[in-house]
A and B are shown apart, each in its own frame.
Chain A
Amino acid sequence: MITELGHFALILALFVAMIQSTVPMIGAARRHVGWMAVGRSCALIGFALTALAMLSLMHAYVTSDFTVINVIENSHTDKPLLYKITGVWGNHEGSMLLWVFMLSLCAAAVALFSDNLPPALRARVLAVQGMIAVGFLLFILLTSNPFLRTFPAAPNGNGLNPVLQDPGLAFHPPFLYLGYVGFSVAFAFAVAALIEGRVDAAWARWVRPWTLASWCALTIGIAMGSWWAYYTLGWGGWWFWDPVENASFMPWLVGTALIHSSIVVEKRDTLKSWTILLAIITFSLSLVGTFLVRSGVLTSVHAFATDPERGTFILLLLVAAIGGSLTLYAIRAPSLKGGGLFAPISREGALVLNNVLLSCGCATVFLGTLYPLFLDAMGGPKLSVGFPFFNRTFAPMMVPMIIAVGIGPMLAWKRGDLLGALQRLWVAYIATALVLLVAFYLTYGGPVLAVFGLGLAAWLGSAVLTEFAERVRLFRVPLGDSLRRAIHLPRSAYGMSFAHFGLAVSVAGFAASAWDKEAIEILKPGGSIAIAGYELTLESVTRVPGPNFMADDAAIRVTRDGKLVKMMHPERRFFPLQKQTTSETSIRTNFLTDLYVALGESDTQGDWTVRVYWKPLVPWIWIGCVIMAFGGVVSLSDRRWRVGAAARSARRGMAEPVTAAGE
């Protein structure tokens, strides 16, 4: 019954989305206030309906309703409650529902927090979002319906792939999708602006919080996925340049460029058509990613079970959404006027360089990801494009970029003083040189590129700190004055510093992975392995039952200089239902290095393969991502950009009603 309610809600949501995509658009064209206002109610109703659909599917999972095909295929009564809930999006149909739910969440958010938008712009933005919703609701209802029933009920379900039964992966998709779908807001704003033929500083200011919020969610989503791979795979790999990973990385790269270029639009009233294009491309890449993952045209470890019919449908959606918006772009963008002189050596110049490098980086990832497909389509040879390609092409582009990130914020708007900026960065040179020397000395004879990478991280980190010190005029004015300056700095400045510093931290983590050590041995209980000054002794392996698996739990005593550091418990879990074994690694971190232990298989004599890795700075990769996302959130909290800030003050009567001014 509840399942039918959800199904019905989803169908109703489709009709509501159809109204949302047409009525406000016509209203905006005819300047009919009532018609324009329809968009807002539709967005809210649509959200309520998709939420209802989502909840009822969850209900079917939680109550193990085995008349629902989707539940049979992906759930089981023995599954822990958490994974019954998160199992909802552990499959194609359910994850598409999550996708649409996030989309309606974004539309509802726009509807709620857009009092400061001119009604026509708001109506058009909501209409564009409605169109996207129509496409994807149709896709779900026609090709991937999670509410289909079967009778009689199955005795039990097939269960969820054990690999997916993990907290890290349970929450990775919601963040990732919030990021992907969040970019639809920027996309809708871009399309609305093209229809209106106007892009100005106010527009950039409105788009910015939405882009930032999606970017934060995407950053966290990608980091979670990578962290999950790290602790799950049993040897500590965290990035494979796999097509599906690349599919999430490309919108991140262009989204990052978009955040930066929209600043230029806001401050200098230029770079407009480029920013619009970036907004379109960012969301387009999210859509292309969805297509790649779900159509089966690319081979990937992560891909869902696929179906060509679905692929064709998504391709149609792509052509409608991307083709349509780019056509509009081709027609309208030439008339968008940019103003202002533009000196190469200036803050805006640095931001343009950032945009060029990030866009080329994204294009490189795109080429590497799709090239095998191109060759195949043209009847060429079958090729793999793996990490060596990306290390040789993408990485070198990011080097000048990271160097420039250190300098850019030191340059003034309009006309910067490069020499002055470089002089003021003297502290950063010293810090970089010190780190380079120490790293080179400590790892003499080791990989030189890693030392260089660490130097880059040191450069960026110290440049960010120097820039901050400059802003508060540290040591130039009395400390109290600096403190006062620090308090009065806008949040967005803090946000930038955090985000850039986070990048430095992550880069250090990437670079240091070249110094990983590994030790793989076959141990009898009592045997031990030595690695990086630690001594690991396998004390015992005991069999422990879990909720829906049987675990072999190894007790490993870790000592350093004879003193106990930690008892570690890596496990091998056998899931009888799927006849699958997973490895539950044990990681001991002190935030500088990780000691990583995985239990391998045993032979008949009771010997166990134990894999131990020592990984310097690897936690910094994800700490850096968290700092980056935190920077985004801090910037988001800046009162100038806070969503609806103007609206609130407008209600208090402190400013003119902006909405009227927009007309």
Chain B
Amino acid sequence: MRRFLLLIAILMLVATAARAVEPAERLADPGLEARARVISSQLRCLVCQNESIDESGADLAHDIRMFVRERLVAGNTNAAVIQAVVDRYGAFVLLKPPIEPATYVLWYGPPTLLAIGLLGTLIWLKRRQSTPAETAPLSTDEARRLDGLMRGNDA
């Protein structure tokens, strides 16, 4: 644990000199460069957490940005470039987790939950409408208490 933080600290130390995508990294071809930016924004910087390599100043992010651009220049498709990075670092580098059995709960959980929530609320409302009102009238002391409050405010 401590080790890792130390590692990060060291890496950051070397890295702070750079900040996000550098002019020197850019490709001459604006079309390729635009693709590089799109790809970079989808890849996670491994040492800085939840930042994409496009945004990160870390040294490793710079290396991967260069790697991405070299592959693009070599004629790879966007998908092939991303796959090449995943082959080296694993699916962890993808900011958007792939949709696979291990992530079904992640991806389908929210819409399912919303459906259950809305449906449950509807059922609850239906039941509420059919049962005759069991309006609990305020008990005398509740009424007095509320009354006191209201009068206090109107004063």
Contacts and interface: CB of A to CB of B under 8 A. Distances in A.
Contacts of A235: 19-20, 55
For chain A, give the interface size range. Answer: 35 or more
B79 interface: no
B1 A308 contact: yes
A386 B52 contact: yes
Interface in B34-85: 42, 44, 48-52, 55, 57
A368 B44 CA distance: 15
B19 A646 contact: no
Contact of A371 (B48, B105, B135): B105
B150 to A, nearest CB: 8
A580 B144 contact: no
B152 interface: yes
A299 to B, nearest CB: 5
B19 A389 contact: no
Contact of A342 (B117, B125, B136): B125
A381 B51 contact: no
A520 B16 contact: no
B91 A382 contact: yes
Contacts of A353: 121
B5 to A, nearest CB: 6
Contacts, number: 202
Given A202-B149, A661-B145, A384 B133 contact: no
A196 interface: no
A640 B153 contact: yes
A371 B92 CA distance: 13
Given A237-B55, A269-B136, A521-B23, A364 B121 contact: no
A234 B44 CA distance: 18
B152 A646 contact: yes
A610 B19 CA distance: 11
A200 interface: yes
A580 B10 CA distance: 11
Contacts of A197: none
Contacts of A580: 13, 16
> Considering residues A296, A522, A661, which has the most beta carbons from chain B within 10 angstroms of its beta carbon?
A661
B142 interface: yes
Interface stretch (A62-70, A333-341, A461-469, A493-501): A333-341
B148 A341 contact: no
B31 interface: no
Interface string A234-275: 110100111100000000000000000000000001000000
A344 B2 CA distance: 54
A522 B24 contact: yes
A656 B152 CA distance: 9
Contact of A384 (B92, B113, B145, B150): B92
A337 B153 CA distance: 28
A551 to B, nearest CB: 15
A610 B16 CA distance: 15
A419 interface: no
B110 A363 contact: yes
B17 A234 contact: no
Contacts of A380: 102
A520 B22 contact: yes
A654 B151 contact: yes
B92 A600 contact: no
A520 B149 contact: no
A391 B92 CA distance: 18
Contact of A337 (B19, B44, B134, B152): B134
Contacts of B148: 646, 650, 655-656, 658, 661
Interface string B3-25: 00100000001001111111110
A340 B52 contact: no
A360 interface: yes
Contacts of A382: 90-92
A650 B109 CA distance: 52
15 contacts: A200-B142, A202-B146, A233-B55, A269-B135, A356-B114, A364-B110, A381-B91, A382-B92, A386-B95, A389-B96, A522-B24, A582-B16, A646-B152, A650-B148, A656-B144
